[in-house]
Amino acid sequence: MSHPFDTLTPDLVLDAVESVGYLSDARVLALNSYENRVYQVGIEDGTPLIAKFYRPHRWSDAAILEEHRFSLELAEREIPVVAPLERDGQTLHTHAGFPFALFPRRGGRAPEPGNLDQLYRLGQLLGRMHAVSASHPFEHRETLGVENFCYASLSTLLDGGLVPRSLLPAYESVARDLLKRVEDVFARTDFQPIRLHGDCHPGNILARDDAFYLVDLDDCRMGPSVQDIWMMLAGER
């Protein structure tokens, strides 16, 4: 079975970066990424860049550009995010069928689990981000909801043969009971969906010199603000 990134070779990565107008020094380092492919690319007489290749057909160009505008808007409002670089007024590029964007390199480490001082400052950062993101909605990004995040996932598991047949009846019964409870919580909770980071776990936050940077906004979407908070919790907290 072919994979969407089968043809994304190191040479193609270099060609893509150079197609935008940069001259590489032929150094390519693959970085961790689940959904997309991300590389650090060395630049002649310059600082290395980060090239993110979006999974083909995962997002529309309009959705990716909306992610980029969100990042740039946050950066303009002095929210510390790693926003895409503009080249000739463009942030989204395409090479050999792969949509991609270039980002400045930012070093750092993940926040320390359970560090209350860091959690407090992260809460302040998210509050500032949400104050900006509540100003207007996305137009091309989905809204987090029970149907598209819960029932759609359950259907994938049940219809895809991913659950052992011996466990199917019990699994489906428990899952549907749980999703009914989730529906009830959504129904009785009064909240206004806002633009979210969407995947705000410690791995998408860089801590450096007592500052934090938010990275990887490709899962941004509309939803309740708590979606950007709960992934910070650890253990019993």
Give Cβ neighbours of residue 14 (< 8 Å, ≥ 6 apart). 24, 26, 28, 41
Q: How far is CA 97 from CA 7, 11, 93, 231, in A?
A: 10, 15, 10, 34
Q: How far is CA 115 from CA 15, 64, 182, in A?
A: 43, 33, 30
Question: How far is 180 from 186, CA to CA, in rounded Å?
Answer: 10
Q: Are 165 and 190 in contact (CB under 8 A)?
A: no
Please provide the DSSP assignment of 225-236 as one string.
Answer: GGGGTGGG--TT
The CA R_g of the chain, rounded to the nearest whole Å, is 20
Q: Are 136 and 222 in contact (CB under 8 A)?
A: no
Please name which of 45, 46, 49 lies closest in space to residue 17, comparing C-alpha atoms: 49
Is 216 an annotated catalytic residue? yes
Q: Whole-angstrom distance between the N-terminal and C-terminal Cα of the chain?
A: 42
Query: 159, 177, 216, 218: which one is catalytic?
Result: 216
Question: How far is 178 from 158, CA to CA, in rounded Å?
Answer: 15
DSSP at 67: H
Is 45 an annotated catalytic residue? no
Query: 61, 117, 184, 199: which one is catalytic?
Result: 199
Give the residue numbers annotated as catalytic, written as ranges: 199, 216
